[in-house]
Amino acid sequence: MGVAINLALPLYYLREGLEPAMIGIITSGSSMAYLISPFAFRNVHKKIGMKKSFLISVCGFLLIMVVFQISLNPWLVYFLMIAEGILLGLYWPILMTTISVVSNSPHLRENDTLKDKLMNHYSLAWNIGGIVSFIIGTILLYIVDDINIMFGLALIYAILLFVCALLFEEPKSEVNNNKEPLIVNEKSQLDLKRENIRFPIYLPIIFTSFFSFFLGAVSFAYPVKSEALGFALFTNYLFSFFRMGMQTLSISQNMKLDIKLFKRLIPISLIILLAFFIFMGFNVNIIFFGVLLSVFGFFVAFLYSFSFKLFIFRNMSENTSKYSIYFETMIGVGFFLAPIITGFIASFSVNFSFFFMALVATALLVFFLALKHKISTD
């Protein structure tokens, strides 16, 4: 549902003649609210139950999608996006808590294979959901060149989500209410425990925020350039499918790598991202865009995997889960700032927005090379 809407909104407003700067502000509403909503709602399910909390968020999503069918007034949509970000702060913690409870149930607690299977299915589910949504969007927009069809598709997703919420069963097992549950793959835990890693905490914080910033900026800037060049609507969803598919593949493989190898791979990935931004600014060939966005998806995932593993290590070393909250918050910060900054620059020149990202990638590369020695592994 999010994939269908988040790409459809900028494409719709571009065709309505809105300035990219205004579109960036509108689409940032959800991320802005999500900066605080997980903190605000993290204990709601303990008071009213998981199923009720889940139903409240899902009913809210359904109502928002219904309103989208009636009006797409920019300021109305902005407030609806804020409402969506608030509801996401209730929705995601419920899913994470549910998986924690199930993992802690008697038939799973001592079975690492089943727990690994559950975690892998969860990670794949939300990625595959996005990939499938991009595929369906590509097919529909190839047949009917009208972006409004994606809002109808999002409503169908919301109805299906509501049905799933009605079938949701309250988990029976108990979790420790004093701490937020930490969800990690068991194999990753063992791999990290073998490494005696020391690093400044601001390092994964910065890399997480820049990962989401790059992802959000490209997801906003490319549709703007696509419309300026007159490309067909369906190509936006097709190339997003390529990008997310390669991103998912990369993350699944990167989780097997150790931190020592990441120290060598991060500079390489940043150099490739730097080159990607420059080529995106100059390129006008539609086939090259498909190739470039696939490359971007694969290498931007290194930033995600690197910061994720460092946060998980810090959680385990201090026997806490507070750094997982830092991780989610910094992802929200990047996605919040990306459309605003990119939209403002794209109002003057969309190519400059890519060149600006190249400068940011250069700064991040210099920052990492200067501080790489502070990451020690034994």
Which pLDDT does position 8 carry in this prediction? 94
Tell me the C-alpha to C-alpha distance, in Å, between residue 283 and each of 8, 20, 236, 292, 361: 23, 20, 16, 10, 19
Average pLDDT, the chain: 84
Question: What is the mean pLDDT of the segment spanning 273-293?
Answer: 96
Our measurement of the distance from residue 216's CA atom to the centroid of its chain's CA atoms, rounded to an integer in Å, reads 8
Q: Is the pLDDT confidence value at 81 over 80?
A: yes
% pLDDT > 90, the chain: 52
pTM: 0.84
pLDDT in tens, 328-371: 778 888 889 999 999 999 999 999 999 999 999 999 999 999 98
pLDDT in tens, 162-186: 999 899 887 765 444 444 444 444 4
Q: With 80 as the cut, is the pLDDT of residue 120 above it?
A: no
| Higher per-residue pLDDT: 110 or 213 | 213
* CB < 8 Å & 24+ apart, contacts of 123-127: 123/252, 124/248, 127/244, 127/247, 127/248, 127/251
HSE value, Cβ hemisphere, 13 Å, CA-based, for 283: 18
d(CA 160, CA 47): 26
Reported as a pLDDT band with limits 50, 70 and 90, residue 188 is very low
Token digits of residue 329: 């918050």
| Helix residue ranges, H only, the chain | 2-15, 20-27, 29-34, 37-41, 44-48, 50-70, 74-103, 106-109, 112-143, 148-167, 186-193, 202-229, 233-254, 259-282, 286-317, 322-346, 350-371
Identical fold, 1-174 and 184-378: yes
How confident is the model at residue 124, as a pLDDT? 73
Rounded to an integer, the average pLDDT of 269-279 is 97
- Domain locations in the chain? 1-174, 184-378
- What is the arithmetic mean of pLDDT over 221-234? 95
98 vs 154, residue with greater confidence: 154
Side-chain half-sphere exposure of 193, counting CA atoms within 13 A: 9
Domain 1-174 has CATH 1.20.1250.20: yes
- Could you tell me the two tokens for 73? 């007034």
> Model confidence over 287-312: pLDDT tens digits?
999 999 999 999 999 998 888 778 76
- Token duo for residue 122: 């969860």
Task: Tell me which fold the domain 184-378 belongs to.
Answer: Growth Hormone; Chain: A; (1.20.1250)
Nearest Cα neighbor of 271 from 207, 358, 210, 205 is 358
Q: For residue 199, count other CB atoms closer than 10 A to its CB.
A: 17
Distance CA 275, CA 280 (A): 9
CA proximity to 53, closest of 110, 22, 91: 91
Of 130, 122, 353, give the one whose Cα is nearest residue 240.
130
7-24 residue pLDDT tens: 999 999 999 999 999 999
Residue 60, helix vs strand vs coil:
helix
